[in-house]
Amino acid sequence: MRMIAAVMYEQGLPMPFADSRPFRIEEVELDGPGPGEVLVEVRAAGLCHSDLSQVKGLRKRRLPVVGGHEAAGIVREVGEGVTSIKPDDHVVMTVVSGCGHCPACVFGRPALCKSVTLPRTQGLLANGQRRLTRNGQPIYHYSGISGFAQYAVTMPESLIPIDESVPLDVAAMFGCAVVTGAGSVFNTAHPSPGATIAIIGLGGIGLNGLMAAKVAEAGRIIGIDTRADKFTLAKELGASDVYLATDPDLVETIRETTGGGVDYAFEMSGAKAAMATAMAIVRPGGEVICVGLGSAAERYDYNHVNLVTEEKTLRGSFMGSCVPGRDIPLYVNHFMSGSMPVDKLRSQRIGFGDLNRSLDQLNAGEVVRQILLPHEFL
């Protein structure tokens, strides 16, 4: 079939992206699903800081590629052998999937499955196939999803069925922002009720972590960001205290008001300065949960003596250590019950024509989650 998609031909173009246009809105060809594959009509796709990192060239991708890795839609066709998904199912499309039989998958950590990761780094689906072309030339898949398009062929392991009552422009955020932010709290940290938690970076992922901390009955939730205009929403979602990351007295203030530091500091941005803050405000015996991704070449410094003598823990959390089939239905239930109002994170709905300009807004920190509607506002 022929469809409209956002194609990136070059990384590292100059800002503003509204002018350099890293995404070209073009008509491309999409083959139908082969054996073990699924065709999804994409109804909504979220813009994530990971998309921004790819545009900036901080992590290389095989080009040209149809962007987008956080999406939701409706199943339109299934390939031979697919039994877990059926046409007309409403689904969340997520990066995390696994082969099901490697050590990572067996031990419940599909985000670490190398069998899936390797073909995806080559711009292919998890089965090694490619279904996108333009004028006979290859176009590659982004993280096995390519949600910045009207349709996508992907693997059933990347699709989690949801109730049709969940708005698809909300459901899209569960594919990355929710599982990454909430999962870092529920799966990686496992905080005890009453724990003191700091969330550094109040974007889409950070605010999902904040909501999860509230569900986990944290005793105190501290929100930290470089922009004060995010504090109202953070407080509405459960933050008990909010601080500017640029406050020169930030570390001293948090240490004093928490009696020595927080139990858990979640670094959600990938910025070096934020990581330094996390290490400084966590108490002896506490944990720093590293969630944000910076450049693949970036190196971070820490004081090794303090790490040892204060028995602090540095822990990575990739995609919230999630098991999508287990976690996404749970998080959707939290949304439906009102305990995780994910819909409040929607900053605006956009069309293809707004995509590049929206990257500039995301880079400036002016928005939380923008949602691309591929079949509207063309």
Tell me the whole-structure pTM to 2 decimals. 0.94
CATH superfamily, domain at 181-318: NAD(P)-binding Rossmann-like Domain (3.40.50.720)
Domain boundaries, the chain: 2-175+341-372, 181-318
pLDDT at 212: 98
- For the chain, 378 residues long, the average pLDDT of each consecutive 10-residue run is 98 96 98 97 95 89 95 98 97 90 90 87 94 97 96 97 97 97 97 98 97 98 97 98 97 97 96 94 97 84 90 95 95 98 96 96 93 87
Give the H/E segment covering residue 138. Answer: strand 137-141
- Whether 2-175+341-372 shares its CATH topology with 181-318 is answered no
pLDDT at 314: 95
Contacts of 374 (CB under 8 A, 6+ apart): 4, 42, 43, 44, 45, 148, 149, 150, 352
pLDDT at 331: 98
pLDDT at 65: 98
Distance between CA atoms of residues 285 and 197, nearest Å: 14
Token reading at 152: 């996508």
pLDDT at 377: 66
Token reading at 104: 């990572």
pLDDT at 378: 57
pLDDT at 117: 83
Query: Please, which residues bridge with residue 199 across strands?
Result: 223, 266
Architecture of the domain made up of 2-175+341-372 = Alpha-Beta Complex (3.90)
